[in-house]
Amino acid sequence: MSDKQTTPIGGKGALIVLLLVVFINIAGFGIVIPLLPFYAESFGISAWQVTILFSAYSVGQFLGEPLWGRISDRIGRKPVLMGTMAAIGLSYLLLAYAPDYNTALVLRFVAGIAGGNISTTQAYVADITPPEKRTERLGLLGAAFGLGFMVGPAIGGLLVVEGIGAAGYRPPLLCAAILGVLSVLGIIFFLKESHDHSRRAARQQARLMEAMRHPIIGQVLLTTLIATGAFSAMEAIYALWTAARFDWGPHEVGLTFTFIGALSALNQAVIAGWIVRRIGEAAALTAGLLLGGISLIAQVWAPDGMWLVGITVFTVIGISITQPAISGLISLASAPEQQGALLGVNGALGAFARIIGPIIAGALFSGVSVDAPYIFAGAGMLPAAWLAWRVHHRIRQGGHHLASTEQVIPKQS
């Protein structure tokens, strides 16, 4: 490596502040998502229009992830996080008083663009963390997401006022907007800038493309595309599948998702880091994808709901290992001035996969069988696991030790 690794800025204190900010922001997101279909129905729209409302966010996020990643590499992480979280909070406020479906659709698209700041939060963690601890701390970031998703829906359910139409959904939406404001204030007053954006890399676009063609980063990005598409297919069809197989309703699905959120947060905060420290990012990614894929297929043979929940434990453990491992591999294999952009590309591929996966799942569910989306999702994890194993083999064969101060792609002068 030709340049010395920069000293992390802010350390544990900055990490704690970022985790709190992310938790508050995702709690707001969690308030809105479970209520959005019911709020949308107050506009008198059809079911497919409700799904378009969800897709609008994913399309916006697909565009926003690489955009904010690259901008944060140029101007710094803090201004990007301030601007995007302010936009998210404003979108909730305007959504509470949206006069019609088309306005709500535009607001969700804009919120998706701003919500593409996930790559910037990941890059911030990478900036302030020594290489050997990055994957573990990216797991803590995932845990903050999981806790936010667990707490948010509970708050939303308590605040909604039933029986008065669209106005009944304003209290939770306004609460989400207030949480967005709190996130921005936390960033302004407590979060330090982590990225030395004064460094300007010559031929930045060419070097970014070169990094994406690197055999390790390229295969990790492809792994994200395949694995996220497969898993999102299962997520999209879960409520319909459990209703068809076990006669579940919103109550059972809601409780299961709360359990999944809690287990995922615990796993990413504790277990994922422990596994990575012992076997490395690429091996952990391979194991997580295999466990997730096999257990997804096994869910098809669950005789009842209790068996399903038991098998789901293994799915959650496997899948929740993969995201911090992927983010850690990309961060450790890229030069500091490329981290935001590459994590943004990774996030964009994930967002694109979350657009395609549900479409495939819906077609399989309607046209083949109720179990077909699960078999597709589980089988899709297997080629992703093979790619992850190739990355692991290449690192061992090439003598690369990612969890160190060495980078797979040296910084160029």
For domain 205-413, give the CATH number. 1.20.1250.20
Q: What is the Cα gyration radius of the chain?
A: 21
Q: What is the pLDDT along the chain (413 residues), one digit of tens a residue?
A: 334 334 344 556 778 888 888 888 788 877 877 677 677 778 887 756 776 777 788 888 888 888 887 888 788 888 999 999 999 999 999 998 998 889 999 999 999 899 888 878 888 887 888 777 777 787 788 788 888 877 887 787 778 777 777 788 888 889 989 988 888 888 888 888 776 655 544 445 545 555 556 667 788 888 888 888 888 888 777 877 888 888 887 667 767 877 887 888 888 877 887 888 888 888 999 999 999 999 999 999 999 989 999 999 999 899 888 888 888 888 777 766 666 677 777 877 887 888 888 888 888 887 888 899 889 999 989 999 998 898 888 777 764 444 433 344 444 33
Domain boundaries, the chain: 11-194, 205-413
- Quote the pLDDT of residue 33: 73
H or E stretch including 227? helix 215-246
- Quote the pLDDT of residue 94: 94
**Residue keyed to tokens 């043979």:** 301
Angle at 149 between CA 33 and CA 366, to 5 degrees: 50
First to last CA, the chain: 10
- Quote the pLDDT of residue 291: 94
Please say whether the beta carbons of 185 and 67 come within 8 A. no
**Residue keyed to tokens 């497919």:** 48
- Indicate if 205-413 has the same CATH topology as 11-194: yes
In this structure, whether the domain defined by 11-194 belongs to CATH 3.40.50.300 is answered with no
- Quote the pLDDT of residue 243: 82
Buried b (16+ CB within 10 A) or exposed e, 314-326: bbbbbbbbbbbbb
- Quote the pLDDT of residue 164: 73
- Quote the pLDDT of residue 403: 43
User: What's the token pair of residue 413?
Assistant: 């002068």
Nearest to 118 by CA among 235, 211, 29, 2: 29
- Quote the pLDDT of residue 107: 93
Residues 6+ apart with CB under 8 A from 116: 60, 61, 62, 63, 64, 65, 66, 67, 68, 84, 344, 347, 348, 351
pTM: 0.69
Query: What is residue 368's DSSP assignment?
Result: T
- Quote the pLDDT of residue 408: 42
- Quote the pLDDT of residue 11: 58
- Quote the pLDDT of residue 209: 57
